[in-house]
């Protein structure tokens, strides 16, 4: 065996372990040299260093290539496993193969964004990053600041995040306008949506904070008008179902209305009778994950998908 005093890893050349594996697989010095792109003198020099490292001949000439010494036979399984582990380690941090890594990405968003994004995104992930898991969490109407900082949240997606700290990145991925969704049989709404019909209708809305005084009500207040809000729901997708079965109306993002219209022909989409600002849907991430290749790739896919009409 090799001396115990030489066991400190500080002075070891771990590349020699790779040479050991190649020689063990090839059992031929010339073939090993070609595989490692080394000249014959260079590989002979490295083999001498390898022998000195282990104080043993390890590989000796035989009638057919190279033969292993008893020590080489004994060490072969351990060295092979060690080199394999090192290769896997470097593959994990290599941008060239990061899509093969096992990983979990947590996305904080709304049910509306989940509906727009996840069906197509999961298909892409299954094809390109099969070992990646996605977990969605409800964003609860506010930026998940502590979760982004701690790593519980990798990406946050919504249209209502404001005043971001300097250590955060944001990217606009989609622009939406507001429309009004109503039942075609609603007696108050026949033809165009007038301001009078709008104000006399019973409104439902989405509220993630419990506040019933939303952007519509703020604009109406400027006009010295007021609408009748009868319910606030915590979901973007449930209100259209209520409109389908009642005379309530809903001010919502156009993509929500379009999704609902595709499922129910009794619904009608109207232009909103008051001017409302468009909503910028943004994805937010913390500087701690800015350079991570898997999360960078996923953000690019999200931007491409949400940017589609």
Which residues, other chains included, contact 161 with Cβ-Cβ below 8 Å and sequence gap of 6+? 143, 170, 282, 284
The two structure tokens encoding residue 292: 């991570």
Calculate the average pLDDT of the chain.
Answer: 90
- Residue 96's pLDDT band, with cuts at 50, 70 and 90, is low
Q: Is 110 helix (H, G, I), strand (E, B) or coil?
A: coil
Q: What is the mean pLDDT of residues 174-201?
A: 93
The two structure tokens encoding residue 67: 């033969």
Rounded to 10 degrees, the C-alpha dihedral 106/111/113/116 comes to 120
Integer angstrom CA distances of residue 87 from 77, 105, 163: 15, 24, 43
Which residues, other chains included, contact 64 with Cβ-Cβ below 8 Å and sequence gap of 6+? 27
- Residue 92's pLDDT band, with cuts at 50, 70 and 90, is low
* Closest by Cα among 123, 145, 149 to 134: 123
Q: What is the mean pLDDT of residues 141-147?
A: 91
Rounded to 10 degrees, the C-alpha dihedral 232/233/239/243 comes to -40
Percent of the chain with pLDDT over 90: 66
Is pLDDT of 2 > 60? no
The two structure tokens encoding residue 103: 């990983």
Neighbours of 31 (CB within 10 A): 15
Q: What pTM did the predictor assign? A: 0.70
Q: What is the mean pLDDT of residues 246-255?
A: 96
Q: What is the mean pLDDT of residues 35-47?
A: 89
Q: Give me the pLDDT at residue 85, please.
A: 85
Q: Which CATH number fits domain 178-277: 3.40.50.800, 3.40.920.10, 3.30.9.10, 3.40.190.10?
A: 3.40.190.10
Is pLDDT of 162 > 90? no
Is pLDDT of 89 > 80? no
Q: Give me the pLDDT at residue 121, please.
A: 97
Q: Give me the pLDDT at residue 8, please.
A: 63
Is pLDDT of 275 > 90? yes
Q: Please list the residue range(s) of the chain that carry CATH number 1.10.10.10.
A: 4-92
Residue 11 or 208, more confident: 208
Q: Angle between the 111-128 and 293-306 helix axes, to the nearest 10 degrees?
A: 120
Q: Please list the residue range(s) of the chain that carry CATH number 3.40.190.10.
A: 98-173+283-306, 178-277
Q: What is 4-92's CATH number? A: 1.10.10.10
Q: Distance between CA 192 and CA 260 in Å, rounded?
A: 19
Residue with token string 């290599």: 94
Q: Distance between CA 278 and CA 280 in Å, rounded?
A: 7
- Fold classified for 98-173+283-306: D-Maltodextrin-Binding Protein; domain 2 (3.40.190)
- CA angle 185/206/122 to nearest 5° reads 100
Residue 166 or 77, more confident: 77
Cα of 146 vs its chain's centroid, Å:
18
């Amino acid at each position: 065996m090799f001396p115990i005093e030489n066991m400190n890893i500080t002075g070891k050349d771990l590349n020699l372990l790779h040479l050991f594996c190649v020689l063990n697989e090839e059992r031929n010095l010339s073939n090993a040299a070609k595989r490692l792109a080394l000249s014959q003198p260079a590989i002979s020099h490295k083999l001498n260093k390898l022998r000195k490292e282990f104080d043993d001949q390890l590989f000796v000439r035989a009638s057919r290539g190279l033969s292993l010494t008893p020590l080489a036979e004994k060490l072969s399984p351990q060295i092979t496993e060690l080199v394999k582990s090192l290769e896997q380690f470097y593959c994990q941090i290599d941008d060239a193969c990061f899509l093969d890594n096992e990983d979990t990405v947590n996305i904080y968003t709304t049910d509306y964004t989940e509906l727009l994004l996840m069906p197509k995104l999961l298909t892409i992930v299954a094809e390109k990053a099969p070992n990646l898991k996605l977990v969605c969490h409800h964003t609860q109407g506010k930026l998940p600041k502590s979760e982004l900082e701690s790593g519980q949240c990798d990406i946050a997606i919504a249209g209502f995040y404001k005043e971001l700290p300097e250590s955060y990145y944001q990217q606009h991925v989609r622009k939406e306008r507001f429309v009004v969704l109503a039942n075609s049989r609603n007696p108050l709404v026949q033809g165009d949506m007038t301001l009078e019909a709008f104000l006399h209708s019973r409104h439902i809305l989405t509220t993630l904070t419990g506040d019933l005084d939303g952007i519509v009500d703020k604009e109406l207040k400027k006009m010295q008008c007021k609408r009748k809000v009868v319910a606030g729901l915590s979901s973007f997708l449930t209100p259209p179902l209520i409109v389908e079965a009642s005379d309530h109306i809903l001010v919502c993002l156009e993509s929500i209305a379009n999704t609902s219209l595709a499922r129910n022909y009794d619904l009608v989409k109207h232009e909103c009778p008051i001017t409302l600002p468009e909503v910028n849907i943004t994805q937010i991430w913390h500087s701690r994950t800015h350079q991570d290749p898997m999360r960078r790739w996923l953000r690019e896919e999200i931007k491409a998908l949400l940017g589609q009409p």
